[in-house]
Amino acid sequence: MRQKNPVTNPDFLLSNDAAKELYTVAAEQPIYDYHCHLPPQEIAQDKQWENLADVWLAGDHYKWRALRAAGVSEKYITGNATAYEKFLAFAETMPRLLRNPLWHWSHLELSRVFGINEVLNTSSAQRIWDEANTQLSKISARTLLKRFRVAAIGTTDDPCDSLAHHSQIAKSDLGTRVYPTFRPDKALAADDSEVFQTWIQRLERSTGTPCQDFGSFLEAIASRHSFFHDLGSRISDHGLEQCFGRGGTRDQAEKVYDTARRGELISDEALQAYRGYMMVYFGELDAKRKWTKQLHLGALRNTNSRGGLQLGADAGYDSIGDFQQVGLLVEYLDELDKRESLPKMVLYNLNPSDNYAIAAACGNFQGDGIAGKIQYGSGWWFLDQLDGMRWQINTLSQIGLLSNFVGMLTDSRSFLSYPRHEYFRRLLCNLLGNDIEQGLLPDDLSVMKNMIRCVSYQNAVNFFEMAPGEV
């Protein structure tokens, strides 16, 4: 059906009758956002925003990349232009974003958050700006969580964080449960003396224990892991270019630690051994407490040196990496399995050429009475769009069990990103509906509706074992 703004069509992405009926079930499910980058401080303080640019454009590297690709000056992206000038630059760019997922995402957010169904362009910019800003006086972080029925959130947190805001949230009347996620990436940064030393100092302050040797360093990390557990965390996360295989020995790791503390250079081989040892150690910690480990694999980060110097990390200069993944990943999983310390895992793959290989690797380590113990995670970053999500769903369906899938997550820093769950659910319903219409799946909507219910919400609740709130 031809429409000026297709996202306003009740049947958006639903091309058949079966899909439309399945979506009635998907639409009813709460959101279990088990991985995101929302700042817990903003939830605790119930943040409000001054204007649409503040809530919609600030910190959004997806939009920043699109604006740069359109030739927009950095002044209107991350520079000193006014908020309205930045918004207007985005509005002027919007007609050039056709078939980019930002066109759908942005209009879904305008529609579902503000009830604005006009297409954004230069002629509508002022009206949309005024209407959204008028509504923002009644919109806050918590009202958005309530509006989208977000039952649980997993934030992303450094082991040294105090988690004071999580404690504050837990004592409040917020219906959404907010859980910390243990992300110790800086513990692997032994090749960057400044980052590593600074982080160890933070670790010492947070534990009250000097990390004079490698043993005390490991004990301090274990102490923080226990601290996170006591505050409800049941998930860890790592952002890696690739796994490090079976890892080195304790002696090798200790030598690297001592060398890094002296600020001396470390060989690539020694660094690989250290990082591999640490990743096995982290896996054992997770397994001991029955946590789930997340591995985000394949990002090539901070590729633009000049842009990085000006703006720092997370500024839109990352890419899909072409790394060897599967051999080292399987070695890592096997090492933990041999130690009987293989935790539940979610594996996110950024390079679609590795989809089938990683999905197949998951199947080698299933069992222990856990449905989908090793998960092939949702389309991530550059792949959380229609094609990328289709590839992920189809790969999982062919290689594993779609019925076990823990579903979508936002992976976002924005409170406006929750319509992406709707986007995913519509796509999922349409794929299954098409298969029913084509005679590839049985015309048994009761079975299909149960799968939709599970993939949209219930599987995540069961898998992560972090109780949702009442929404």
Give the pLDDT band (50/70/90) at residue 311. Answer: confident
Q: Range with the lowest mean pLDDT among 49-53, 142-146, 307-311?
A: 307-311
d(CA 16, CA 448): 15
Give the pLDDT mean for 217-242.
98
Give the pLDDT band (50/70/90) at residue 316. Answer: confident
What the chain holds in terms of domains, given with CATH numbers, is 50-138 (1.10.2020.10), 141-464 (3.20.20.140)
Span 236-265, pLDDT tens digits: 999 999 999 999 999 999 999 999 999 999
Residues 6+ apart with CB under 8 A from 109: 56, 416, 417, 419
Nearest 5°: CA angle at 329, between 269 and 270? 10
The residue that leads in pLDDT, 461 or 368, is 461
The pLDDT value recorded for residue 450 is 97
Q: Is the pLDDT of residue 1 over 70?
A: no
Give the pLDDT mean for 280-286.
98
Q: Is the pLDDT of residue 4 over 90?
A: no
d(CA 289, CA 141): 31
d(CA 93, CA 120): 9
3-state SS track over the chain: CCCCCHHHCCCCCCCCHHHHHHHHHHCCCCEEECCCCCCHHHHHCCCCCCCHHHHHCCCCHHHHHHHHHCCCCHHHCCCCCCHHHHHHHHHHHHHHHCCCHHHHHHHHHHHHHHCCCCCCCCCCHHHHHHHHHHHHCCCCHHHHHHHCCEEEEECCECCCCCCHHHHHHHCCCCCCEEECCECCHHHHCCCCHHHHHHHHHHHHHHHCCCCCCHHHHHHHHHHHHHHHHHCCCCEEEEEECCCCCCCCCHHHHHHHHHHHHCCCCCCHHHHHHHHHHHHHHHHHHHHHCCCEEEEEECEECCCCHHHHHHHCCCCCCCEECCCCCHHHHHHHHHHHHHCCCCCEEEEEECCHHHHHHHHHHHHCCCECCECCCEEECCCCHHHCCHHHHHHHHHHHHHHCCHHHCCCCCCCCCCCCCCHHHHHHHHHHHHHHHHHHHCCCCCCCHHHHHHHHHHHHHHHHHHHHCCCCCCC
CA quadruple 213, 216, 222, 228: dihedral sign? negative
**Packing angle of the helix pair 268-288, 250-261 (nearest 10 deg):** 110
The pLDDT value recorded for residue 318 is 87
Span 171-222, pLDDT tens digits: 999 999 999 999 999 999 999 999 999 999 999 999 999 999 999 999 999 9
Long-range contact list for 130-139, CB < 8 A, 24+ apart?
132/52, 133/51, 133/52, 136/48, 136/49, 136/50, 136/51, 136/52, 136/55, 137/48, 139/48, 139/49, 139/113
Give the pLDDT mean for 361-388.
96
> Residue 257 has which token pair?
């630690």
The pLDDT value recorded for residue 315 is 81
CA distances, 249 to each of 246, 254, 271, 277 (Å): 9, 9, 12, 7
CA distances, 410 to each of 105, 321, 347, 422, 460 (Å): 12, 21, 15, 11, 14
Q: Is the pLDDT of residue 294 over 70?
A: yes
Mean pLDDT across the chain: 96
At 89, give phi and psi (nearest 5°).
-60, -40
Give the pLDDT band (50/70/90) at residue 2. Answer: confident
Q: What is the pTM of this model?
A: 0.96
> Residue 106 has which token pair?
């942005």
